[in-house]
Every structure is written in C-alpha cells, then in structure tokens.
Structure 1
C-alpha cells in the first residue's frame, strides 16, 4: 500500500536536488572560466611579520574557491537526492528501483557519489565536473518529466529479493561507468588539436586516462556480478538463465566491450587513445541499453522501463 504523502515529499526532494545540482553546475562553469593553471589549486605566498619572520600561507585562487563551493553544493544535492529515493521506497513499500524514473534517479545518484569520491581522491579532476554534472542533469530531467511514474507496486515478476542484488549492482556500475566515459572523451579531446584553448584548462591527458581506467576497474566487477544475478533471477522468473532478450544481449555486448578495454589497457603495444575509444564505445552501449532498448525495443524487460 503506497503512501501518497511520502511520495510527494520524495518528488519535492528530487526537484530540490535537481535545483542544487544546477546551481553547482553554474559554479563549476565559473570555476572553469577562471581556471588558468590546471595543475595548481593553491598558491603559497610569504607573509612578513613584524618580527621579520616569513610565514607560508595558502591563498586560494578564485577558481579554487568556486570549485570548492560547487563540490559543497553537490554534496548537499546528494543528500537531498538520497532522501528522495528513500522516501520513494518508503511510500511504495518496496525497493525503489522498479521503473525507469526510479532507475535513472538511482543511476544519477551513483554517478554523483562516485564523482565526489573521485574528486576527494584526486582534486585535480574537479574541472571535469563541468562535463559530468550536465549529463546527470539531463538524465534527471528526462526521468522526472517524460519518464516519471507515480509511486506504487511493481509487477509480480519484479517482486523478488533478487531485484535488490541485480538492479542495485546494475545501477551502481552504470552510474560509475558515466565517469570513465566522460573522462575518456575528454582524454581524446585533450590529445587532439581541436578546441585547444578550451581543452587546455582540463587536467593533463595522462591523468584523465588514469582516472578512466581506475574507475572502470572498480565498476566492471559490479557490472559482472549484476549480470550473474540477473541470469539467476531470470531462471527463477522465466525458467531459463539466458534467452537473448534485447536487454540481455546489449548488456552482454557492453560487458564484452568493457572487458576488451581492460584487456587493451593491460596489453603492451596498445596505445592509450585506441583503448579510450573502446571505453567510449562501452559507455555508448550502456546509454543505448538504458534508453533505446528499454523504451523502444519490445522484450521481457520492457515492463521495467515504462
């Protein structure tokens, strides 16, 4: 039995998170505009005291200040976003990933959390947020408008504990794959001669490639586990582990592409640009599976996307 009041609160928190993410993006745009030296976030100057001693002091650039404010807003938006998902689950009395609206919301949350963790570990990657956050905003806008579904129960086939394992791992891995997909695109842009004045404010190409590889290494096992859980769930629900359903097929193709990327990065003789193109191809398959297969192609998974 759904609770309409909690569902309304959940939608409000969703809208609030979307607004806060938008404000964070504006600050990131300002940060990118002020950015001059990608490798330097702090400038150390000497401050003379009356005693004659000189003390080192960190003077933050305007770019760094705006960037830190953007990260703080993203953290606030993450809390609002998480609250919206929790309220959605409480209102429906189930795991809140039973339709496209809920699925996209959870994917975006995973992407933002992964982004915040990445910035925490590698602050030099912060300017990349100007390209990550817009993708999240577009997905959330589409999910909250065209793909919105009122809170309620799901079809019987989805009423299984396997939904927690299969869908959750698919959500987290898909959200994380957004980060290396963007990083690999920017890596290719950084190495090219096109838009040089725009791209020179990005982190160095080697750093972008390293981040893309490390995040993919973290997301790939989760994605693999999600496929295995999905096969087990399919056997319990439909009597077979694999049936070459369109969504299953595209998900498997994406898995092969990401496996090829990891193999290419670990193989001597493969240049990083060629591997980056493979990584971009894998992310393209994830997006294709998310929208085209769920919304256009008929299959056993279609009920989960409408």
Structure 2
C-alpha cells in the first residue's frame, strides 16, 4: 500500500466507525455517542475529500470508469448530508450519510482498477458529470429523510406510541423541509447536467440521443424530478407524496449506476 492509498482506507474506516457509533447512539439514545458518530463522519469526509483530490491529481479519472462515478457521487452525498446537518440542525442526516458513504466508497475502491473507455473531454462534459452528481447527492439525503417521514407518519396514523429512540427522530415538518431544500437545489443541478450531457453528445457523437438505455433512464429521472419540483413550487406539495418521489428518484439513480452501467450495454464508459 502506497501513501496515496492511505486516505481511501482511512475514509472507509472512519465511515464504518461512524456507522457503528450512529447505530449505537440511536438505539441507546446516547447524545454523547451520537455526537461521536457525527465527528467520525466529518473526519471521514475530510479524508474522502483528500482521496478524491489525490485521485484526480494522479490521473485516475482521465477516463470515466465505474470508480469514477461512485467516488465523486459518494463525496457529493456526504457533502449534502453535512450541509443539511448544519443548516437544518439535524444530526440524523450524518447518520444516514455514514453507511452510504462507506458503501459507495467501498464500491469505488473495488472498481478503481476498472479501465475507463470514455475519456473526459472538455469542460462541458465535466460540468455534465458534476451537476449530475450534485443532483443525485442531495436527493439521496432527501430520500433518507423521506424514508423516516413515511415511517413516522405511518406510526402516527396507526397511533403507535413513539417509544425509545423513535422519540429522538426529527419532526415530520423538519423532514419535509429537507425534501424541499434538496428539490430546490437538486433539480436545477440535475437539469443542467442532463442539458450539458446532450449538448456534449451532439458535439461528440453527432446527435442528442443515441438510443442508449442510460439516456432514457436519465430522462425518466429528470421527468420525476421535474414533477416533484413543479408540484412543490407551484402547488405547494408537502408530506407523503414528495417523500415517495424522493425515494423513487434515488432508487432509479442507483438502478442506473449499479444495473445499467454494469449489466446492460451502454456507451457511457462501461
């Protein structure tokens, strides 16, 4: 193991410890342990950032590979969780970030030796990827908040007493605000990413659409994202429906990355 690999292993170790501490703190209702989990997650993000910088500086991302997609995506997810935790005073966002940061980071490390076949060609293509990562990253945090929202709402609807660690979960209104903030930031980012991708395809491949299934699933995600954005901004949607759509968007994004990119034939570097 070289010194350049140290940040990746430290990042994963800290995220793993943060996940264990988070679970212990939530189940044991220990504020001290939950605070430790947040500190471990923040430290993991610091090494995550260093890992990403070293990978870019070392030329590991000269072409798109599976590892390329997963490492920046997991970094954007962690950043979104940190921002939500700070802006909304909701430490539980970091409890969600830690296991996902570990999982996606471990997958990125596992795929790091996979050669890329689609070169990074210019700022338009880089902007396409960065905006997509940002849009999916913030929606990942919204999906976590959405899952908690649906769980809490079901308990309230069935008049199930909120006992134990469930008493410490954020209120429904706070979870809905996470969805609103993520939608407001994520939809423009994702839309910009799709637009840049199609413009780059037109310049490089001669057409906006090539019939690749990756493009169609991206358009489907954009359509659901647009529905969520419109309904929240124009019609004032709140609560259950936005929570469900956030979960749909994140699930479709994972399907695109883990199924489309690895199982189906695609021109997007796999």
Decide: shared fold, TM above 0.5.
Answer: yes
Ranges in structure 2 where 5+ consecutive residues have no aligned partner: none
Tell whether the 8 Å contact from 1:258 to 1:282 is kept in structure 2 after alignment: yes
Q: State the distance in 1 between where 2:196 and 2:72 align.
A: 18
* 1:287/1:258 CA distance change after superposition, 3 Å: same
Displacement of 1:129 in angstroms is 3.1
What is the CA–CA distance in structure 1 between the aligned matches of 2:88 and 2:6, rounded to whole Å?
33
Contact 1:265 1:272 in 2 (8 A): no
What is the RMSD of the two structures over their aligned residues, measured on CA atoms? 2.4
Is structure 2 residue 105 aligned with structure 1 residue 143?
Answer: no
Runs (4+) of structure 1 moved beyond 6 Å?
none
Verify: 1:12 aligned to 2:3, yes or no.
no
Once the 2 structures are TM-superposed, how far is the Cα of residue 18 of structure 1 from its aligned partner? 0.5
Match for 1:130 among 95, 98, 101?
A: 95
TM-score for the superposition, normalised by structure 1:
0.78
Task: Give the conservation status (yes or no) of the 8 Å contact 2:139–2:246.
Answer: no
Partner of 1:113: 79
For the 8 Å contact 1:20–1:77, the answer to whether it is kept is yes
The answer on whether the counterparts of 2:149 and 2:172 sit within 8 Å (CA) in structure 1 is yes
1:215 maps to what in 2? 182
| Unaligned stretches of 5+ residues in structure 1 | 36-61
Distance 2:54 2:223 in 1: 36
Question: 2:142 corresponds to which residue?
Answer: 180
Q: Which residue of 2 aligns with 1:228?
A: 195
Contact kept? 2:140, 2:250, Cα under 8 Å: yes
Task: Return closer, same or farther for 1:183/1:224 CA change in 2, 3 Å cut-off.
Answer: same
Superposition deviation, residue 225 in structure 1: 0.5
Q: Does 1:292 align with 2:259?
A: yes
Distance 2:63 2:36 in 1: 31
Q: Any idea what SS the aligned residue of 2:267 has?
A: coil
> Are 1:87 and 2:54 matched, yes or no?
yes
Q: Which has the higher helix share?
A: 2
Following TM superposition, by how much is the alpha carbon of 1:290 offset from its aligned partner in structure 2, in angstroms?
Answer: 1.2
Larger radius of gyration: 1
Alpha-carbon spacing, 1:288–1:256, altered in 2? closer, same or farther (3 Å): same
Contact 1:261 1:276 in 2 (8 A): no
How many Å separate the matches in 2 of 1:169 and 1:140? 19
Matches of residues 22-171 of structure 1 in structure 2 within 5 Å? 22-35=16-29, 62-63=30-31, 65-92=32-59, 95=61, 98-123=64-89, 125-145=90-110, 147-149=111-113, 154-155=116-117, 157-171=119-133
Between 157-166 and 133-142, the greater mean CA deviation after superposition:
157-166
Number of aligned positions between the proteins: 265
Of residues 121, 133, 153, the one that matches 1:191 is 153
Counterpart CA distance in 2 for 1:32 and 1:189 is 16
Return the offset for 1:256.
0.6
Q: Distance in 1 between matches of 2:4 and 2:64?
A: 15
What's the offset of the Cα at 1:84? 1.2
Q: Judge conservation of contact 1:95–1:164 (CA < 8 Å) in 2.
A: no
